[in-house]
Every structure is written in structure tokens, then in C-alpha cells.
Amino acid sequence: MAYLKRIGIHDIKEPTLAFLSEIQQAHVQYLSWQTVDIFAGRPTGLQESVQLILQGRSGYCFHLNGAFSVLLRSLGYTVHWHRAGVQPFGEQPRVNSFHLGLSVSLPDADPNVERWIVDVGLGGMPFEPLPLRYGTYGSAPFTYTLMPSSVAPGGWRLEYEPNGPSEGVDFAPEELTNLEEFIPKHEFYSQSADSPWHNAFLLRQRHALQSNELRGCMLRTHDRDGIRKKEIQTYTEWRDVLAEKFHEPLVNYTELERKEMWGRVQAAHEEWKRTQQV
């Protein structure tokens, strides 16, 4: 119940598609996809995912989808874990277990659909569950196309709208019984100097009509009117954006640690601006 209250839900309901949609929508609004702890050099293990959220924090794909699967199972849903892989722009599709995929069996929700894709850890996450039936879903600018995977036989591929954070993600159909194979992937992402998130201060959040991204000092807002970018220039503004847009008040960090983090973010941003002027 504490987990549900963390995302603004105060009543437990029957495990229906309607309640699943309500939970997923609340999850992606209140719990941003983020690399804050990795950037700060304080990564959290996969086994601590639920506790991380209960303590007023958030995480990235392994934490968010891992904790979400625990929540859904506690509410009576049948949840399946899958190997998955995100395809960055300019690279090839892959299923490399650098993403934890989830699906939920709901045979009574729709006579034509037995399973639904749920994902609260993609960064470009759908706002609600998607039927595991090939087609295009959502309304502009947030549309998602589900198709057969070209790299996972029997699997599926989810592609974002054109301005999403990556090309898409592929899922293997086999159900996993534990998360062991994701542990070394998480260790690489969260601890290796070669990780794409090693020096990246990045948060992403979504609600029905808008998505927000904070990359260092740059706030990117995307809605039906297009994409707008704003440079965050002061510590106070940065802290307020984190708390108000991303529901991330950095409760596990002292004020001194928050200011030190801002100093690193600001220094990296100034260096980035210098490279743009060359």
C-alpha cells in the first residue's frame, strides 16, 4: 500500500486492465526514469529497487520495471519478465538484456488479446499498457508501433514516435524465472566508466499530454505544440524543476551534496557549450 501511495493511488482495486492502466499512468508521472544516483557515484542494487522507491527516490529501467513487477504481482497480476534491448539512434536492433521487459497476462480483458506490454522504465515509456497485438497505438505526438522483432524469433518490437529517446526496443518472447542475467548488465550501466550513463545527469518523465527531459542544464518539453528547450541557469531553478516536474527532491542527498551535484552539472554544461561554439 505504501508503494501505491508513493504514486498517488490510495485504493486497491481488482486486477483488471482498467486498474493496470491507472497504475502505469501514475507510475510514469510520479517516478521519473533517471541516472541521478549513477551520476552521483551512489548506484543502488537491483535487489533494493522497491526500497529505493519507498524511500522517495527513483531509478532507471532495471529499478523501475523490477519494482513495478513486484507491485503488480502483489496486486494479483500475472507478470512475465523478458530479455530486451534498446536500439540507440544509428545502431542496430538487439536483444542484449540491457533492458528488462515486462508483459502481463489478462485473458479476460479483451477477447482478442491475452497479453499486454507494460513498461515504466524506458524513458520513452508508453503512458498506458499496450496490447500485444501488432499495430500503432496512442495519439500524436506520442505514438507507438508494435511489430514482429527482426532479431528475436517470435518476439516483438516497440518503436517510438519520431522524437523519442531511441529507435525502439526489441523483446524476446521467452519468460525468465529470475533476474540474475540482468545483474552484470546493471553493474556495467551503474559502475563502469564506459557506461553511457557514467557522467550523464538525465531524467525523463511522462504524463498524458507531455513528456519532459532534463539533461544536465537543458530542459526539453515535448507536446502537441512541438519541442521546446530551456536552459536552467541557477541552482534554485534546477532544484525546483527537479522537484516540481520530475517529482525528484533528492531526499537522500544533503543540501551540500545537492549543491555539489549542481556544480558538476553546471561545469559539464559550460564545457558542452564551449564545444558547440568551436
H-helix or E-strand spanning residue 114 = strand 113-118
Q: What pLDDT score does 149 carry?
A: 96
At CB < 8 A and 24+ separation, what contacts does 64-69 make?
64/27, 64/31, 64/33, 64/120, 64/121, 65/100, 65/101, 65/102, 65/119, 65/120, 65/121, 66/100, 66/179, 67/3, 68/24, 68/27, 68/102, 68/118, 68/120, 68/121, 69/102
177-195 burial, b for 16+ CB within 10 Å, e for fewer?
eebeebeebbeebbeeeeb
User: Which residue type does 21 have?
Assistant: S
Q: What pLDDT score does 203 carry?
A: 96
C-alpha angle 34-37-40 in degrees, rounded to nearest 5 = 125
Q: What pLDDT score does 123 carry?
A: 79
User: Which residue type does 108 have?
Assistant: D
Q: What pLDDT score does 201 carry?
A: 95
Q: What pLDDT score does 278 carry?
A: 54
Residues in the chain: 278
Where the chain has pLDDT below 50, the residues are none
Distance of CA 74 to the CA centre of its chain: 21
Q: What pLDDT score does 111 carry?
A: 86
Q: What pLDDT score does 124 carry?
A: 76
Q: What pLDDT score does 78 carry?
A: 96
